[in-house]
Amino acid sequence: MDLHYMVKELWYRKRRTLTATIGLAVGMAILITMNALSSAYTEAARMPLKEIGADITVQRAGDVPEDLTGPVFACSAVTIRKNEIERISTLPGVQGFAQALLVWVFDADRFAIVLGIDPSNPVGPGVLRTQLTDGRFLEKGKKQALVEASFAKNFNLKTGDTVTVAGRTYPVAGIVDASRATKIAVAHIYLPMEEVQKMAAASKQVQAVSPFDKDDANILFIKAAPGQIDALAHSIKDIMGDKASVATPASFLKRLGSLFALSDNFSLVTSLIAVVVTLLIVLKTMAANLTERTGEIGILKAVGWSNGNVVSQLVGESILQCFIGGILGLLFAILAASALGFMQVSIPIPWEMSPTPHFLPGGGDPAFKTLRLPVHVSWKLAGVAILLSSLIGAVIGGFLSRRIARIKPSEVLRYE
């Protein structure tokens, strides 16, 4: 195999080289772009949960509160018992775990969505630490409140003020802009978990709808081991029963519905077509090229090249040509991915995960997480495409060259 000879053959047979290379590049670009697009939708579907620092959220549906006074549970998030929490937190595949308690508090002068959190836990609402706009985050063991920015503005609350919730007064430790972080588990006021547990346990309205002990919770956030999200979700449903509401990236993908299904299936079909068309283009171009070079191959054999020498030379040329086509296709795909990255996608948030009551302004509106489609060509995808291109070159080159290498030089020279 002589690399110099290969390069010259490709260089001086520009029309055929360009036809095969561009054909393969376009096919590979389609394959890479469609797969990158499909991965982008999958990645986008992870974002609502990723923003809250979890892979899975768990809630339980219950009855509608009868009396909207004091602390009440939303019908989408009623009690998850301590023993259930312990069983779930120890399931295989759980890498991180947090619990929270969401309560609607109807005080005489205002309504507030209150979320009890563990400030030291990075999973779940702990990610709000990065969205502080003023003051500091909650500290473990301190009875303080964190106030959401728009709520603070409406009620003229600042860091250092106090806020009263269900008759209890808390100093405002800081202001947080939760709207920038997530659409899930957003609240007006964030309090230490123990404070909200005491509040809920003492509430007649809560107990009337869903008996609650001070160690229970009503939202769980779970970080799962890679590849175990669906299995974990299944196990959680077994523990929680029929009324469990378990959100995973897959459930968000389902909510993208036909858009994702179309993209996913379309990507598969398009990829297959791209590979087949690419194969045919390369096959046809190379077959024509080799037919054109029959005399040349006869000469190679006449001057002492063995079948193996001829095959390795032609396969090498084919691989080189397809490798270049693959690289070119990768560049096309990167450009296409950059363009597609300007597209926006709106991911519907399930109503049960939106903490705002439907009777409040905007509470009944469908919630969406809108983001730019994270289209990017991964190293793995790029590597697979380049390898696939080279493999196409090797297979087609091998198939065609083995046939043509069998020609007898005398047969070729006789008709030249």
Partner 1 sequence: MNNHHIISATDLNKDFDSLQVVKGVNLDVNKGEFVAIVGKSGSGKTTLLSLLSGLERPSSGRVILDGRDITDSSENELALFRRDTVGFVFQSFHLIPTLSAWENVALPLFPVKISAEKRRERALELLRQMEMEHRAEHRPSTLSGGEKQRVAIARALINNPKIVFADEPTGNLDSATTDAILEILKCLHADNGLSLVMVTHDLDLAESSDRIIRMQDGEVLS
Beta bridge mates, 56: 222
Q: Nearest approach, Cβ of 274 to partner 1 (angstroms)? A: 31
Spatial separation of the C-alpha atoms in residues 108 and 110, rounded to whole Å = 6
The string of DSSP letters for 234-299 reads: HHHHHHH-TTEEEE-HHHHHHHHTHHHHHHHHHHHHHHHHHHHHHHHHHHHHHHHHHHHTHHHHHH
- How far apart are alpha carbons 130 and 116 in whole angstroms? 18
Backbone region of residue 241 per phi and psi (left: phi > 0; alpha: psi in -120 to 50; beta: other values) = left
**Least distance from C-beta 321 to partner 1, angstroms?**
14
Considering the rule CB under 8 A, would residue 5 count as an interface residue with partner 1?
Answer: yes
**Contact positions with partner 1 (CB under 8 A) in 17-76:** none
Q: Which is nearer to partner 1, 7 or 272 (CB)?
A: 7
Neighbours of 79 (CB within 10 A): 21
- Residue closer to partner 1 by CB (options 295, 341) is 295
For partner 1, give the closer residue by CB, 183 or 301.
Answer: 301
Check residue 416 for interaction with partner 1 (CB under 8 A).
Answer: yes
Site for partner 1 in 256-315 (CB under 8 A): 295-296, 299-309, 313
- The amino acid at residue 284 is K
- The pairing of strands 168-176 and 132-135 is antiparallel
402 sits near partner 1 (criterion: CB under 8 A): no
Q: Which is nearer to partner 1, 64 or 302 (CB)?
A: 302
Work out how close the CB of 411 gets to partner 1 at its nearest, in angstroms, rounded to a whole number: 9
Q: Check binding of 343 to partner 1 (CB under 8 A).
A: no
User: Of the listed pieces 9-17, 219-227, 324-332, 367-375, which binds partner 1 according to CB under 8 A?
Assistant: 9-17
Q: C-beta of 322: minimal distance to partner 1 in Å? A: 19
CA-to-CA distance for 367 and 132, rounded, in angstroms?
23
Residues 211 and 164: their CA atoms lie apart, in Å, by 25
State the residues that interact with partner 1 by CB under 8 A: 2, 4-5, 8-9, 11-13, 295-296, 299-309, 313, 406, 408-410, 413-414, 416
